[in-house]
Amino acid sequence: MSELTTIARPYAKAAFEFAVDKGAVESWNDMLFFAAEVAKNEQVAQFLASSASAQKQADVFVQVCAEQINEHGQNLIKVMAENGRLVALPAVAKLFAEFKADYDKEIDVDVVSATELAAEQQAKLVTALEKRFARKVKLNCSVDANTVGGLVIKAGDTVIDGSIRGKLNRLATALQS
């Protein structure tokens, strides 16, 4: 997957910069998401892996996407087809979404708790996390009884383990040292 990310990065970056210049970041995000879903389709993936010419691949891909992709998006598809990179479209869409989140100053935060969080608790958590990360926070809450109590918060590379299980594990490690 890292190879596809390396291949996809210049395309995602170019598409993102173009979208920012044109003030069309949201529409580009939607277009790339749709194109990525098309590329993930089994039949389309088999076609892209076939020995069809780049022009034929681009034409078929554009026809499948129809009105979901504008003229500039079609150009991106054609360039990627010419370079044999259409299989990297899902990675391009993922990277574009990451660039968009960074541009919008948003961050996805996964919160795992032992019990379901009430709306008031979620609101307080969002406020505290927005202050900590200086970004707009989108919470993804889940429940895991193994957490025992407290919360485990994951935001990008940052993990905040305030669970009782985590505290017990740290205490056990400290006692064994």
In terms of Cβ atoms closer than 10 Å to its own Cβ (0-12, 13-18, 19+), residue 127 is exposed
Is domain 105-176 given the CATH code 3.30.2310 in the classification? Answer: no
pLDDT tops 70 at residue 136: yes
Domain ranges of the chain: 2-102, 105-176
Q: Tell me if 113 sits within 8 A of 150, measured CB to CB.
A: yes
pLDDT, tens digit, 9 for 90 and up, residues 11-52: 999 999 999 999 889 999 999 999 889 888 888 888 877 777
pLDDT, tens digit, 9 for 90 and up, residues 72-128: 988 998 898 888 888 889 999 999 998 998 888 888 899 999 889 999 999 999 999
Q: Closest Cα to residue 61, out of 101, 83, 89, 98?
A: 89
H runs (alpha helix) in the chain: 2-22, 25-40, 42-49, 54-65, 71-82, 89-103, 119-133, 164-176
Of 1.10.520.20, 1.10.287.70, 2.40.37.10, 3.90.1150.10, which CATH number belongs to 2-102?
1.10.520.20
The distance in angstroms from the start CA to the end CA of the chain is 38
